[in-house]
Amino acid sequence: MPLKINEEQKLALIQAAISVRQWAYVPYSHYPVGAAVLTSSGKIYDGINVESAAFPTTMCAERVAIFKAVSEGEREFDAIAVVTENAGSSCGACRQVMAEFGLETLVLIADTEGNIREETTVSELLPGAFTPKDLPSL
Distance from C-alpha of 22 to C-alpha of 48, rounded to nearest angstrom:
9
> What is the DSSP track for 25-57?
B-TTT----EEEEEETTS-EEEEE-B--SSGGG
Q: Is the dihedral of CA 112, 81, 46, 40 positive or negative?
A: positive
Residue 62 falls in the annotated catalytic set: yes
Task: Determine which one of 7, 8, 51, 62 is catalytic.
Answer: 62
**Known catalytic residues?**
62
